[in-house]
Amino acid sequence: MRKEYDLKKMNLINNPYVDKLKKSVTIRLDADVIDYFKKLSEQTHVPYQTLVNDFLKSCKEQKMTPKTIWKKSV
């Protein structure tokens, strides 16, 4: 390594954006939901994952709760 790239002389600082980093998760969504956001993505030129994140963030901010109806199996 050349002397001008000596990392030992660097002044390290903490990442100021660490609280704003996104976390990678695996989530199972219905195909029609994904298709909806992908089509919306093409229309708006915004990545579909960003659209899904923005939608979920909006739900959180409005304190919305899902209305899930579980069917009894016979």
Q: Taking the C-alpha atoms of 37, 42, 46 and 47 in order, what is their torsion angle to the nearest 10 degrees? A: 60
pLDDT tens-digit readout, 16-61: 888 888 888 999 999 999 999 999 999 999 999 999 999 999 999 9
* DSSP reduced 3-state for 41: helix
> Residue 63, class by beta-carbon neighbours within 10 Å (0-12 exposed, 13-18 middle, 19+ buried)?
exposed
Q: How far apart are CA 48 and CA 8, in angstroms?
A: 41
Grade residue 2 by pLDDT with cuts at 50, 70 and 90. Answer: low
Domain boundaries, the chain: 28-64
Determine contact, residues 52/37, Cβ cutoff 8 Å. Answer: yes
Quick one: DSSP state of residue 46? S
